[in-house]
Chains A and B, each alone.
With several copies, the nearest count.
Chain A
Amino acid sequence: MDLTYTEEEEEFRARLRAWLAATLPGLPPRPDPRDWPGRRAYDTAWQRRLYDAGYAGLHWPADAGGHGATPTQHLIFLEETELAGAPYVGANFVGLLHAGPTIAAEGTRAQCSRWLPPILRGDEIWCQGFSEPDAGSDLASLRTRAVRDGDAYVVTGSKIWTSHAEVADWCELLVRTRPVSADVPGHRGITWLALPMNAPGVSVRPLRTLAGTTEFAEMFLDEVRVPAAHRVGEENDGWRVTMVTLSFERGTAFVGEVVACRRTLRALAEAARGNGRWDDQEVRRTLGRLNAEFTALWRLTQWNVSEAQRAGGVPGNSGSVFKLRYSHARQELYDAAARVLGPGGLDLSHDWTADRLSSLSYTIAAGTSQIQRNIVAERVLGLPKGR
C-alpha cells in the first residue's frame, strides 16, 4: 500500500505543472456552450497544444503515436490538468479515448496511419454511433442495418446520444450485418465501421436534454455508403472489437471528475459558511459525509489505477463498483448544493443548479445503475444469471 509517487512520476508532474502554468494564461476565452464550431475549434486547438508539447495520446502505445504512459502518469496528467483548470478533452473525447484505441488495437497498419495521427494532432474529431432509440441498456439489440454492396456497406438506421455529431469528421459506428435469429444472438452479427460524417445520407438533429441544452444529437442514416475498407476488424466481429477497448479502461475514467467534485464540495462549504446554512447541523454534516465519500472515491481511483498498472487493464468489474458509488455520490453532491443554496437552488444562474440537472444522467448513461448492479452481482460476486 504505497501512495507515494516515484521520482520519475514526480518529475513528470512537475514538468506538466510548469507547462500548464506557462500555457493556460495564453488560451483564448472559452466559447459559448451553444457555439459548436467554436467549441470544436477551441478543443482541437488545445489538443494541438498538447500534441506540440508531447502530451497528446499520453496513454496510447508508442507504435500508435502515443507515449505509452503508465496508468499512474495518466492519473497525474488528468489530476493536474483538472487542478489547473485546463480545458477538457471535449470534442476529442471519442477519438482519444475510444475510437483511437480501438483502431490502434484492431485496425490495419493503413487504418492506423490514416486515422490516428489526425486524432492526436486535433485535426479530426470523432463521434460515437452506438446507442439507438430501441437499444439502450441492451446495446446488442441494435438494428441499424448494413448491407454489403460491392466494395461498400449500405447503412440505414438511426443512432442517438451522439455527442459532437454536428462537428465530427468521423463516427465509430456499430451496425448489424447479420440478422438476429435463433442461432445468431444479438451481439454476434455486429460490425464496426468508420463513417465519414460528410457522406451523403447522414443527417444530424440536435437532441435537447432536460437541462435545456443540446449536448447530444440524433443521427439518421439513409442508405449511406461506407467503403468496406473502413471496417475495423472482421465482419460480424464488431462487438468484440468494441469490447477490447472497453476492457482497456485503466481506472482513470473519472479522475478529472472526482477532482472537480472535491473542489465543488469545498466551494459548497464556503458558500454555506457565507450564507448561514453552515449553522444547520444537517447541512453541515451532509457536507462532512460527502467529504468522506469523495476522499474514498479518490482512494478507490488510486486503487484501480494501481491494479491497472500491474495487471494491465482494470476489468470492467471494478469499474462498475466505482461507477455505482460515484454516480450516486455526485447526485448527492448536487442535492447538497440545493440545500446550501435554499431558494437559490431554483435559480439556473447558479452553475450548481444547472449541474444538478446534468447529474441526473449519471445513474443512466453508460450503463444504468440497475445494469451495473447486475454486472457486479453476476461477474464479480458470481451470482447466477436471472431467467
Chain B
Amino acid sequence: MDFRLTDDQRALQEGVRKLLEGRFGRERLRAAVDGPGVGPEASLDRALWRELGDAGFFALRLPERDGGVGLGLPEAVLAFEEAGRALLPGPLVATHLAAATVPGAATGERVVTRVDGELVEWLDAADHVLGNAAGAVPVRSVDPLTPLHRVPGAAGGDVPEPDAVPAALLTAAEQLGSAGRTTEAAVRYAGEREQFGRPIGSFQAVKHLCARMLVRTETARAAVYGAAVTGEAVEIAGAKLLADDAAVRNARDCLQVHGGMGFTWEADVHLHLKRAWVRAERWPTEREAAELLAAALR
C-alpha cells in the first residue's frame, strides 16, 4: 500500500496545472466571465477544447491501442481536480466519458454533453448529447460559465445509466479542486488584508475558518482519491457527497473571509460557489448520495 501519488501522477498533475495556467489563466477566465457570450449564449472555446484533446484530457483513459493515454480513474481524477481548480468551463465530464464511443470526442474535435437528472449543460454548444434531451428548455443559469437546459420530466428512475458512476467521481474531483483553490485564496487574502493594524489572518476567527476549509478539503481529497482507486459505486457516492460539501462550504467561507470584496463580481469566489452549486445538482445529489450510502450499511 502506498496511497501517495506516484511520480508519474505528480508529473501529470503538474502538467495539467501548467497547461491550464497557460491556456486558461485568470485573465482568460475573467474574459470569459465578462465577455459578451455569457449566460445562455455562452460559447465554448473550441480551440481550447481541441488543445485539451491534444493534451489527452479526454483520451486519458482510452487504451493506447485506441489512440488513448491508457491511464485509469486515479489519473483522470487528478486531471479533473485541476480543471475544478481552474474553473475550466465546458461539458468536460461528458466529453471525457464519450471518448470511447463518440468519434471525435477523444481528440476534442467534437463536444459531447449529457443529460444528468433534469439538467443538461452546454446543450447549444454540444455536437452530441448522451441521453435524451428532447423538449429541453433553456434556463437562466446561475453560473455565468455554465449554460443550462432543463428537460422536464427527465429525472430518471433509481438506477442511473452506467456512465453515472464515473461521472459522479469526476464531478467530485472537480469539486475537490475548487475546494482546494478557495482554501488557498482565503489563506492568501487573510495574510494580506489588514484591518485593525494587522493581517486579518492573525485573528483566530479567520484562522479557524481557514482551518475548517483545509480539513474539509483534505477529507474530501482522501475520499475522492480512495474512490478513484477502488472505483466502487458507494464509495464514489460518498466522495461526491463530501466533495460537494467541501466545495460549497469552502466557497462560502472564502467569501466570508474576503468580506465585502468577496461579494463583488470581480472576485473569483462567486464563480467557485456558483459552479459548486451546479455540480452539486449532478447525480448523486446530497440526498441521493446519503440514501445510497445508507442502503449500503449492512
Contacts and interface: CB of A to CB of B under 8 A. Distances in A.
A338 B296 CA distance: 21
B117 A343 contact: yes
A242 B190 CA distance: 29
Q: Main SS of the interface on chain A?
A: helix
Interface residues of A, number: 87
A3 B226 contact: yes
Contacts of B218: 300, 318, 321
B210 A377 contact: yes
A324 B142 contact: no
Contacts of B237: 292
Nearest to A361: B263
Interface stretch (A44-52, A112-120, A230-238, A346-354): A346-354
Contacts of B242: 292-293, 296
B222 interface: yes
B140 A347 contact: yes
Contacts of B47: none
B18 interface: no
B265 A212 contact: yes
B5 interface: yes
B141 A321 contact: no
A360 B252 contact: yes
B201 interface: yes
B74 interface: yes
A84 interface: no
B207 interface: yes
Contact of A383 (B201, B262, B265): B201
Given A292-B237, A373-B205, A386-B204, A348 B141 contact: yes
A2 B205 CA distance: 38
Contacts of B252: 360
A318 B218 CA distance: 9
A254 interface: no
Interface stretch (A25-33, A92-100, A135-143, A195-203): A135-143
Contacts of B291: 284-285, 288
B235 interface: yes
Interface in A334-380: 338, 342-349, 353, 357, 360-361, 363-365, 368-370, 372-374, 376-378, 380
B292 interface: yes
A51 B214 CA distance: 41
B208 A377 contact: yes
Quick one: which of A3, A305, A309 has the most chain B CB within 10 A?
Answer: A3
Contacts of A266: 297-298
B132 interface: no
B3 A295 contact: no
A219 interface: no
A123 interface: no
Contact of B140 (A136, A348, A386): A348
B92 interface: no
Interface in B101-150: 117-119, 139-144, 148, 150
A209 interface: yes
Given A136-B195, A291-B293, 16 more contacts: A5-B1, A212-B144, A288-B289, A288-B291, A288-B293, A288-B294, A292-B238, A293-B242, A296-B226, A299-B223, A306-B2, A370-B204, A377-B211, A381-B211, A383-B191, A383-B206
8 contacts: A210-B265, A266-B297, A285-B287, A299-B225, A300-B218, A302-B3, A370-B204, A377-B201
- Nearest 4 Cβ contacts at the A-B interface: A292-B238, A288-B294, A299-B226, A210-B270
